[in-house]
Amino acid sequence: FVEALRANWDNSEKQIEGRPDSDVEAVSIITIHSAKGLEWPIVIPVNSPTELDENLAFLLRRSDDTVHFKLLGRAPPDYEAVKNEERNQLRRERVRLWYVALTRACDLLLLPRQTERSPSDWFSLLGARLDELPPFDATALSGAPGLRKTEEPENPQDEASWRAEAATIASMRRTIVWRSPSRHEEAEVGQPDRLDEDIFTDAATLEAKLPSEPGPSLLRESIQGSRERGLVLHKLLEEVLTGETAEESAALEARARTLLAELGIAEAESPATGPHAPEIAATALRALAIHEVAALRPRLLPEMTVFSAEITGNTTTCVGGLVDALALGEDGAIDVVIDWKSDVDPSPGQVELYRVQVRDYLAATGANEGLLVFATNSRIEACRRPKCPYLKETPNASHEQIRK
């Protein structure tokens, strides 16, 4: 407390003059300055035997704003007069503080009586003759409760009982694990990891981070894939499905250029050197024209958030992600899940990772079928729902449940 008080004083931090009274049974430690205007049943000025600080090396005379101090042991002409004036002013201020301290008690004021005292302590300001005051007798207080003698209870716990109780506590612990299908945690480490960051990752970002695999390259030299190209392509497909952008080549090209500018990416002169607005627009139109996609167009809802949970023992595995598009059935239940991919030449290993992602979404939504749509080459991979979905009690979740 004293160290904090001194630090606040050195840093010139302002203190609240008064604060609300604490509970009547509490013990408050407070400075005299902060005690102004407050009262307590019992008050003890604990630091009253402390010696006064008489550091008057540098003096300020407020009447003319002049500073007085000794230099090489020699004092200026008015030094002693200014020193006496400063000492008297400090004394008057300290006496006023004593008035505050002595008038805060409602019922009882207890003054510490030291066996050894300094002639320049805080008590010297009052001239109080503490030896003439009667000592405090707690038994004289009416209704003073006596302390009841209690025996320490015997602890019957041995090592075996302690281990049994510890096992009971451990068995009651519940663990929540978050995973997102787009991160492919199970494919990488064999089990889901606990994530401290956001569980959502857009598909374009995922594609840019997937590891490449050796093998015969099927990459077409005419198109260069990139994260930015994937972001723009996904955004165009979303806006066409929501009606924000017309399903026309000119409108999609203009929108693609705007999105590239918002990303701070300069449009490349050709698809082989970077994101090219005409190529991205044409890819979006080809993806929407695929027979399976076109058949689902009236029922598609883009960019839907899905959640599911599976309880295994004391562990709850929560799965959450952002599905590119969902197709609803006539009963309002999720029927088909669509996942757009902007890969130019995906390897078999990458395709399998994508299939695992779609199957996780099928398990989370209860949908029967998933479509993995590679927009660049108009290729579709169909996925079926796994036999052990996460939503065991709700085999087919409705649109309203997924949105919640």
Strand partners for 339: 372
What pLDDT does residue 210 have?
Answer: 45
The topology (CATH level 3) of 178-220+286-403 is Lambda Exonuclease; Chain A (3.90.320)
In angstroms, the Cα distances linking 329 to 30, 299, 396 are 70, 8, 11
> Among 175, 179, 174, 173, which residue's Cα sits nearest to residue 308?
179
pLDDT, one tens digit for every residue, the chain (404 residues): 888 878 888 777 666 554 555 555 678 888 888 888 888 888 888 877 777 777 777 677 777 777 777 777 777 777 778 778 877 888 888 888 888 888 888 888 888 877 776 767 777 777 767 777 788 887 776 665 666 777 888 888 899 999 999 998 888 888 888 878 776 554 443 443 433 333 333 444 444 444 444 333 434 457 777 888 889 999 999 999 999 989 999 999 999 999 999 988 888 888 888 888 899 999 999 999 999 999 999 899 998 888 888 888 888 888 888 889 999 888 888 899 999 998 888 888 888 888 888 888 888 888 888 999 998 888 888 888 766 444 443 444 444 434 33
What pLDDT does residue 394 have?
Answer: 41
For the whole model, what pTM was predicted?
A: 0.48
Angle at CA 358, nearest 5°, toward 204 and 375?
A: 45
Given a contact cutoff of 8 angstroms between Cβ atoms, the answer to whether 126 and 109 are in contact is no
User: What are the residues whose beta carbons fall under 8 Å from the beta carbon of 169, sequence distance 6 or more?
Assistant: none
> Cβ–Cβ contacts within 10 Å for residue 240, how many?
23
What's the chain's Rg over C-alpha atoms? 40
- Domains of the chain by residue range: 12-136, 178-220+286-403
* H or E stretch at 383: strand 379-384
What pLDDT does residue 15 have?
Answer: 60
* H or E stretch at 206: helix 203-209
What pLDDT does residue 258 have?
Answer: 92
What pLDDT does residue 23 have?
Answer: 58
In angstroms, the Cα distances linking 183 to 175, 206, 357, 382 are 20, 7, 8, 20
What pLDDT does residue 20 have?
Answer: 53
**Burial classification of residue 253, based on how many CB atoms lie within 10 Å of its CB (0-12 exposed, 13-18 middle, 19 or more buried):** buried
What pLDDT does residue 237 have?
Answer: 92
